[in-house]
Each structure stands twice: as C-alpha cells, then as structure tokens.
Structure 1
Amino acid sequence: MFARALAPAVRRFATTAAGPVVGRGFAVSAFARRDTTPAPYNSNHGKVKTFAEIKTQADLLGPGALPGTVPTDIEQATGLERLEILGKMEGVDIFDMRPLDASRKGTMQDPIVVQSFGEERYLGCTGCPADSHDTIWLTVSRDRPLERCPECGGVYKMEFLGPADDHHHDEHGHDEHHPEPHKDPETFADFVKPEYRYQ
C-alpha cells in the first residue's frame, strides 16, 4: 500500500531528473589589468636632505611619495615636524625635551635656567625631589623671566635664545602696527606687594 502511493512521486522525480539537460549561459568579460607593483625607488626623486643641509624654509618641504605608493613620514612631513624627524635621525633633540633639573630647588641667587627661542615658555614644576607634588604649570617670558612655584618655592628663569632685535618693534619695544604696548591680563599675583615678590 505504501509502495503504491509512493510510485507516482518516484515516477515524477525520475522523469524530471532524467529529462533533457539545459546548459547554463556562460559570459566572459574582458578587463585590463594594470601592474600594481610599485616602481623601484628613483634616486633622483625624493632626495632627502640631512639635518645639516637644512638652510632655508624651502628645505623643510618633503619630496612626497612616488605615484601609487603610500608616503612615509620622511617623505610627507613638512616644517617643524620635518626638522624634528631629521634631527632625531641624527641624534639631535630639536625641541630640547629633556626634563628640567630636579636635583635641586632653584633660588633667586641660583635659579633653574630654562632656555627658549620664543617670547615665552610654559614649564611644569613637580618639586624637588621630582614628583614630590602635582605638576604646577608656570609661564616665564622675556618681560618676566623669573617665576616661583607656589607649591615648593622653586625659582625658574628663562634665558632667551631668539633674535636680539625684532623688526616689528621700535626701539622702545612697541609694536609698529599697535601703538600701545601689550599688557598681560591682571591676576592675583599683580596685587602682591613688590617687597614680597620673588623672595
């Protein structure tokens, strides 16, 4: 009984499976394949100047990468970043990132000297010995070269290494575009009596 009921289904499946085979369409598409291997490094392209060869601001432009390649830092860096990378390649610390002298506490007679090429510099005092208090950020400038840490009392002095004269200022230090001299905003330190300052 079960075989009689199953026979029509088997017959239908057998005729379908044994039926004519229809071939699938096969499409071929042609495309041009470019060679993506990078070209060998051209010695004329991208000549990297050494730190000693940097003379002008134009020397701080990177040569760029060859077409089809990813540029490295030395190929794409420009300006101060390029100067820093070239200096590090030759062992020169351009920005003098050494920590300040923390073996002693600076005094008014013998302050800890901080060199700067700019008009002002920020420095962080952590006390003496190092890390004896949280970092206190101080600002020293050409107008105010001495600064005392309010936590430990250490004294720091800025030594200016930049150009002696600035062509934007007259002989009195006034900016030729702005007749009034720049004045720092007032803080609580401005209201301390002079006899208590830097002592």
Structure 2
Amino acid sequence: MFAPRLLARTVARRAVVAPRAFSTALPRLSSAPAKIKTFHEIRTEADLIGPGAKPGTVPSDIDQATGLERFEILGKMEGIDVFDMKPLDASRKGTMEDPIVVPSFGEERYLGCTGFPVDSHTVIWLTTSKDRPVERCPECGSVYKMDYVGPEESHDHHHDHHHQPQVDVPTMADFVKPQYW
C-alpha cells in the first residue's frame, strides 16, 4: 500500500518538473546549397573562404573552414596530400655526396631525424633553409638537404628587405671542422 502511493507521487513530480523539449529550426528547403569549389578550382585567397552555415543549421568543417585548413580539406576530399605528410626516406643514411632530399614550399623547413637504422635514437629536430640547405644530424651523422620548390620571389613587390636584419643563428654545423665537411 505504501509503495503504490510513493510511485504515484514520484510520477506526478516528474510530470511537473519535466524539461521543455529541445527544438531547432527546420532547414530551409527553398534555398539551394552554396556550391563548394573543388581543389582544382581554387585560384585566389578569396576562394579559401567557406560559405558558412545556413541559419538554423550546425556548420560542418567544409562550411566553416577557411585558409590553409580549407585548402587541406578540399585536397583530402580529392585524395591529394597538400602538405606532403609522408615520412622521409629512412631506408638509407644520407651522406654529403648523396643527402636525403627534403622538398619545401617555405624558405625554412624543420625535420626530425630518428637515426639510421630507423628509431636508433630519439628524434632530433634539424632546421634547413634556403640559405643553409644542408644539415647533418649530430647523433647519427645522416645528412639532409632542403630542395626549395616554392615560388620564386618576384621583384614587382615593394617590400623593403634592407631594414630587416638577417640573423644567422649558429647550429652545430658551425662548429664542425672544415676537413670533416
């Protein structure tokens, strides 16, 4: 007799305190979805701005991504690895005569050496640049060379590079005796 009354009181409380239903606006069926440019249709930076989400909808990554993130997503949708994220050639040890070539679109590239054979030492980060394209790992001696494949600097821009001092940060290569090169 006590249990049915307690159950009825609990059900009554729940009915009174029930939360309001969550509602969202229905998607508008009359508006056509914005056309998303493919990877090969991108020509300017303005093409890398997403259309955004329609009112009342939750945006997807392709709707709201801009800039390099959008460029990467569009490339992945077509099966293109735009940032070339595959590992470096680790089947051999780079030498001064035959270094491991690392392509770069930027004027500077960081690379991690794990040794030869692979994983024979912890990752040692090396920096290569257009000015210093060759770098040698201080642990295993493997040599890497940056191959700059980015755009050449055009002379029609009016940037004044003379007021920016070039600071050459010393690396371990600066302390190696010339006869070892």
Of the three residues 65, 76, 86, the one matched with 1:77 is 65
Give the equivalent residue in structure 2 for 1:193.
177
Superposition RMSD on alpha carbons, in Å? 2.4
- Displacement after TM superposition at 1:47 (Å): 1.1
Gap change, CA 1:60 and 1:102, over 3 Å in 2: same
Of the three residues 151, 158, 162, the one matched with 2:146 is 158
Give the equivalent residue in structure 1 for 2:104.
116
Question: Taking structure 2 as the reference length, what is the TM-score of the superposition?
Answer: 0.79
Of the three residues 50, 70, 75, the one matched with 1:62 is 50
Gap change, CA 1:134 and 1:169, over 3 Å in 2: farther
Gap change, CA 1:155 and 1:187, over 3 Å in 2: closer
Specify the SS of the correspondent of 1:46: coil
Give the equivalent residue in structure 1 for 2:80.
92
- Displacement after TM superposition at 1:46 (Å): 2.0
How many residues are aligned here? Answer: 159
Gap change, CA 1:191 and 1:125, over 3 Å in 2: closer
Gap change, CA 1:67 and 1:183, over 3 Å in 2: same
- Displacement after TM superposition at 1:37 (Å): 1.8
Structure 1 residues 101-153: Cα deviation after superposition (integer angstroms, max 9, x where no partner): 00111111111000111111000000122211100000000011000001111
Give the equivalent residue in structure 2 for 1:40.
29
Give the equivalent residue in structure 2 for 1:178.
162
Gaps of 5+ in 1: 1-33
Larger Rg: 1
Of 175-184 and 95-104, deviating more is 175-184
Question: Taking structure 1 as the reference length, what is the TM-score of the superposition?
Answer: 0.72
Q: 1:72 and 1:157 mapped to 2: Cα distance?
A: 40
Q: 2:168 and 2:157 mapped to 1: Cα distance?
A: 17
Q: 1:55 and 1:169 mapped to 2: Cα distance?
A: 20
Q: 2:62 and 2:30 mapped to 1: Cα distance?
A: 14
Give the equivalent residue in structure 1 for 2:15.
none
Gap change, CA 1:35 and 1:139, over 3 Å in 2: closer
Give the equivalent residue in structure 1 for 2:5.
none
Of the three residues 133, 136, 154, the one matched with 2:121 is 133
Specify the SS of the correspondent of 1:107: coil
More contact order relative to length (CA 8 Å, sep ≥ 6): 2
Give the AA of the match of 2:133.
P
- Displacement after TM superposition at 1:156 (Å): 0.3
